[in-house]
Amino acid sequence: MSDSSKRMANPSDLEHLAKLFDGRGNLKDKLDEAFTRASRLGVQDKLAALKPLRSWTGETATDLRRRAAILRAEKGDPKAAALYAGFRPEELNGLALPPDAMLIANASIASGDKFDAAWLKREPGETYQDWLQRIPGDAVAKVSGNEDFGEVVGDYIEITALASTVPGAFKMATLGTLSLIKRFKHGDFLKAPGTTLAQILKGRPPSLLPARIARLGAQIGRSTPPVVLDVLTGSDRLAQLHGGRLHAWEANLLKVGNNVGNSSRAAGASRLGALRSGTGAALRTAGWWRAAGIGGSAVATGVGAFDLIQEGNPADAFKRDKLGYVSKVSGAAFNASLTAAMVAPNPVTIGAAVVTGAVYGGVTLWQNREKIKEFPGKIADAGAWAGKKAAEGAGKLADGAKKLGSALNPFD
């Protein structure tokens, strides 16, 4: 396909054509089915001439999608780079597309032959999140011409991601264990994770909190209008009426919603009306902060599950990267159990969050131990390289200034 004809093509048409090759129920599936049947009948050798067609369909579909992605990049489509990498449009629905990562990636594709965009292609077993984490470092390596510098950027992104997730997993494992001990020793009610601020503002801070912070938080809570405080931290009244708990952070939101829904049905409400009433009561009991935490944890669970699906066959994924796969599985399990504990705090959900949090944090740290250990040295090397380049640039600038001055000086 020539450069001019390529630009006249419609990317949607190319993607539709690719689907005819490898979409569900199309040419590739039919070829696979034909070879499967031939194998069962013992006549597979009769289809030997068609064997190259199986790989050709996949390669052609991939090429068509990449050509479509180049056209999309030229038109400013933010999904172009991910499509070029090999992700399907349906895989990208609802996923975040970070503008900083996409800018350099899309520019690389739109430049065509002027810039090698092969580094953008999805690697075997690479998930969308893995790809997003990899390409900024690779982009820096391409632009700077220094792979070590790009590696530092990539490591920094990974270590920053670890710093935002692993401590939270260990915190949940520690605090969850303490709360379970108190539950079984003293009969204390369990509290939903992520409700510490609500407890502080309502004068019920955790025992480990410094007294000065507890007093300041309680003072702020007392000066906040009760209606606003309930919206943010949850309604204790609804927790007592429908959840059988004194405080909102102890309430099982499923129980509150179910009780209110059943009451609405008994009063003659429709199923939809009862569902609305139950959901509304559960949200008011949770409060804005807890509800937002549940939503964020649920999204993280969905992203983790999507990543695992993209890994393909679990046995193959485990062989490719044992620690990496265990980290992803335990991470998805931790987010799922944390979501459940936020909704319905009980020994089972809190216990699951404790176990999965400890496994996820431990495995992830062990997996990245060498990277963390070597990171300071890599930064020093990258700094030396950057300093050298800056010195070279300053020298060239000085030489250029001398030459310009010489050219302008009539007495030189």
Give per-residue pLDDT as tens, 247-306: 999 999 999 999 999 999 898 889 899 999 999 999 999 999 999 999 988 988 888 888
222-236, 337-351, 380-394: segment of lowest average pLDDT: 380-394
User: How far is 261 from 399, CA to CA, in rounded Å?
Assistant: 80
Is the pLDDT confidence value at 409 over 60? Answer: no
User: How far is 249 from 288, CA to CA, in rounded Å?
Assistant: 12
- Which two structure tokens, joined as six digits, stand for 122? 């999805």
The C-alpha angle with vertex 183 and arms to 244 and 229, in degrees rounded to 5, equals 50
Do 7 and 81 belong together in one domain?
yes
Task: Give the residue-averaged pLDDT of 337-343.
Answer: 94
SS (H, E, C) 88-155: CHHHHCCCCCCHHHHHHHHHHHHCHHHCCCHHHCCCCCCCHHHHHHHHHHHHHHHHHCCHHHHHHHHH
State whether residue 297 is helix, strand or coil.
helix
Do 208 and 336 belong together in one domain?
yes
Do 203 and 323 belong together in one domain?
yes
The pLDDT assigned to 5 comes to: 45
Do 97 and 201 belong together in one domain?
no
Summarised one tens digit per residue, pLDDT across range 290-330 is 999 999 889 888 888 888 887 778 888 888 888 888 888 99
Summarised one tens digit per residue, pLDDT across range 348-404 is 999 999 999 999 988 888 887 777 776 566 555 555 544 554 454 445 445 544 444
Domain end residue (candidates: 350, 367, 384): 367
Residues 149, 320 contacting (CB under 8 angstroms) = no
Do 174 and 277 belong together in one domain?
yes
Do 93 and 205 belong together in one domain?
no
Domain annotation covers residue 387? no
Q: What domain range is 97 assigned to?
A: 1-112
Residues 364, 148 contacting (CB under 8 angstroms) = no
Confidence label for 237 from pLDDT (cuts 50, 70 and 90): very high
Which among 368, 392, 398, 411 has a CA at the least distance from the CA of 155?
368
Residue 395's contacts (CB-CB under 8 Å, 6 or more residues apart) are none
User: How far is 82 from 157, CA to CA, in rounded Å?
Assistant: 19
User: How far is 367 from 270, CA to CA, in rounded Å?
Assistant: 53
Tell me, rounded to whole angstroms, the distance of Cα 240 from its chain centroid: 37
Which among 160, 23, 381, 187 has a CA at the least distance from the CA of 179?
187
Task: Give the residue-averaged pLDDT of 101-120.
Answer: 61
Do 2 and 69 belong together in one domain?
yes
The pLDDT assigned to 52 comes to: 74
Summarised one tens digit per residue, pLDDT across range 132-154 is 777 766 666 665 566 665 566 66
Domain annotation covers residue 346? yes
Domain annotation covers residue 389? no
Domain end residue (candidates: 367, 387, 405): 367
Handedness of CA 55, 58, 64, 70 (dihedral sign): negative
Task: Give the residue-averaged pLDDT of 162-184.
Answer: 85
Do 357 and 297 belong together in one domain?
yes
Residue indicated by tokens 């993607």 = 15
54-58, 216-220, 363-367: segment of lowest average pLDDT: 54-58
Domain annotation covers residue 254? yes
The pLDDT assigned to 238 comes to: 94
- Which two structure tokens, joined as six digits, stand for 84? 């070029």
Residues 342, 194 contacting (CB under 8 angstroms) = yes
Domain annotation covers residue 108? yes
Summarised one tens digit per residue, pLDDT across range 24-48 is 777 777 777 777 777 777 777 777 7
- Please report, for residues 29, 45, 57, 58, 154, the alpha-carbon distance to residue 35 in angstroms, rounded to integers and kept in the order given: 10, 10, 14, 16, 43
The pLDDT assigned to 67 comes to: 74
Query: What length is written for the chain?
Result: 412
